[in-house]
Chain A
């Protein structure tokens, strides 16, 4: 009996024009999005490699160890082909130096705003928006449409258990809808292999999990369509309800969640944080300059009664000690500024984390949000992408600076210009050394943050659970409603 109903439902779907349209639309969209994604990824890889080489070249040609600054580029991830997430919003490059805090800048969208206007259509978007709409269009009249046609009456004039009928309807619709998703998905995976996109076993696992999340998400909309079709006698009414529900689920609730969270928990703007950091830095340097002036006055005090020769001899004997002392003070100022920046950043991140948590809690009332978050977490293009990189950069920065200081001390080369003004000998400028001879082969390399499959699943598991819960609840609703549905 169940197989008869499922087979019939499948045939009903396959012979309908909406199946052909769905298959063509989804196949075209999905395959094109993957082709565009592969192209974007390969361009990003080329850009990454070229820029990395240029940075290495610049470092080798630096004037000296003191002026050596590194630049780290965010490495493109092949998962961005399927889920762009925040990948294009987050900066791709950050400077590493003693003086400036790490900051990712030059995002794809800031460099090429046209992409920000017309965002990339990826797998996640196609499933979230297009496929969920198609699922609703397939199922909004699953039950009341049959009642309107009169076929439900004829069906239940037979000894057909209602439970089997609704399960058969659901399974048939599910299979009928999954095929237009699974076939282009398989073609897309073949394209990845053809284009030699470097996918490790971790990425394959992520892709399989992404597809599983998509299936759960689509299952919810199939159940929802069937549920709404059992709520009303007329398919035109359930169509309207389905559309309104779809708009709320896909567009309104996710955005409303973020907006409400933004109003409840306020987070200082980047400009405000920058201003606070700048103000502290300015105060600290001013204080340092004052201290330095006092120190130099104190250092020069004994020379007031000395002859010129005594004064020069005294200064020569003390100069190295003073320079080291000044350097220590300067470094302390930098440490204080860094600590303050770190504290401000931590405060900002804590506030942001609170806001994000609330936004996610509110928006997760929509399965569309749950799927988006699961997809982004699986792909590693989630909201934590920026902080993952900034944490790694912050860990790397002191390692790099220590290496730089060590090299500077080893070579005794500050790398700067030495300008000596003497009333007897005149102005003398010493450039230190020739360009292009820095050996950076021992320079510690930046380790890109890893986003393993287990990390991804740990973040996505709640959304998988929610999607399963939403699907089960709506199907249970449809099941219970249908047991008492008037089939006449």
Chain B
């Protein structure tokens, strides 16, 4: 497996027009087969960081790289190597799950899949077969989230960005989701996940970063965190104890 970082933030900063500093000189990387969990409160800069990776926002300075390609300089090339699942996966409600998959997967540049391929992936993410051909109008958030992760799987990108993926999921769906992430990691995907959920992060992440007011105030590997009380650590960082 290539051990070069697939996702890399290099001195990444973002200051908005109103002067607010959303991300301040943040650097980290995620290698293939790794999950990096960004923890932090609301407004800590987690989503802004992901948005810079997706070129939804331009960085003020620094660079976000996907597979070594600057997402700001060559966004279309960079996005070929990344899949994205947002906090609230929103798909077309007047289309079925398979129709939605077909559209977004084609946008991702994959045109070789058949309906059977879509069904297999939907089953893999835990969406019952009877829902495959139903319009998304009646889908719960968990079901939509499963469709979103199915799109990400079918895109078969080496890197995946997840913005609060377990937010609002029931415990069972949350558990299934974590299992799915584990299997994706085992396939060699580099996963960057922003989350509020300390316990899920601790359970699945290889590296945990804590963001506060735009700064990456802590970045530790699973090994470095072993024996530490992550929850206490997080609360201390949030309270500014170590400043």
A binding-site residues for B, Cβ under 8 Å: 1, 4-5, 8, 11-12, 15-16, 149-151, 153-161, 486-488
Contacts and interface: CB of A to CB of B under 8 A. Distances in A.
B77 A159 contact: yes
Contacts of B109: 1, 158-159
Nearest to B81: A159
Nearest to A5: B107
B69 to A, nearest CB: 11
B56 A156 contact: yes
B148 interface: yes
B79 A154 contact: no
Contacts of B82: 157
Interface string B159-178: 00100000000000000000
B235 interface: no
Contacts of A160: 76, 107
Nearest to B51: A488
Contact of A1 (B57, B77, B95, B107): B107
Contacts of A161: 76
Contacts of B54: 156-157
A16 B94 contact: yes
Contacts of A158: 79, 104, 107-109, 155
Contacts of B92: 12, 149, 151
B94 A15 contact: yes
Interface string B41-80: 0000000000100101100000000000000000111011
Contacts of B89: 150, 154
Contacts of B93: 149
A153 to B, nearest CB: 6
For A11, A151, A159, A487, which residue has the most chain B Cβ atoms within 10 angstroms?
A159
Contact of B91 (A5, A15, A151, A487): A151
B86 interface: yes
B94 to A, nearest CB: 5
Interface in B78-127: 79-80, 82-84, 86, 88-95, 99, 103-104, 106-109
B91 A154 contact: yes
Given A4-B106, A8-B103, A154 B95 contact: no
A290 to B, nearest CB: 88
Interface of B: 51, 54, 56-57, 75-77, 79-80, 82-84, 86, 88-95, 99, 103-104, 106-109, 148, 151, 155, 161
A483 to B, nearest CB: 12
A488 B86 CA distance: 11
Given A1-B106, A15-B94, A157-B54, 4 more contacts: A11-B95, A150-B90, A154-B90, A159-B79
Nearest to B135: A15
Contacts of B75: 159
Given A1-B107, A15-B95, A486-B56, A157 B90 contact: no
A352 B83 CA distance: 67
B91 A155 contact: no
8 contacts: A4-B106, A8-B103, A149-B92, A150-B88, A151-B91, A154-B86, A157-B84, A158-B107
B76 A154 contact: no
A153 B89 CA distance: 10
Nearest to B50: A157
A486 B99 CA distance: 26
A16 B135 CA distance: 12
B56 A153 contact: yes
Contacts of A156: 54, 56
Contacts of A151: 90-92
Nearest to A151: B90
B80 A154 contact: no
For A157, A487, A488, which residue has the most chain B Cβ atoms within 10 angstroms?
A157
Contact of B86 (A5, A8, A12, A150): A150
Contacts of A488: 51, 56-57
A151 B90 CA distance: 6
Contacts of B91: 151, 154
B151 A154 contact: yes
B95 A157 contact: no
Of all A-B residue pairs in the complex, the 4 with the closest CB atoms, nearest first, are A150-B90, A157-B84, A159-B79, A159-B76
Nearest to B84: A157
A149 B98 CA distance: 19
B94 A12 contact: yes
Nearest to A15: B94
Nearest to B163: A153
Contacts of A155: 104, 107
A149 B104 CA distance: 15
B133 to A, nearest CB: 14
Contacts of B103: 4, 8
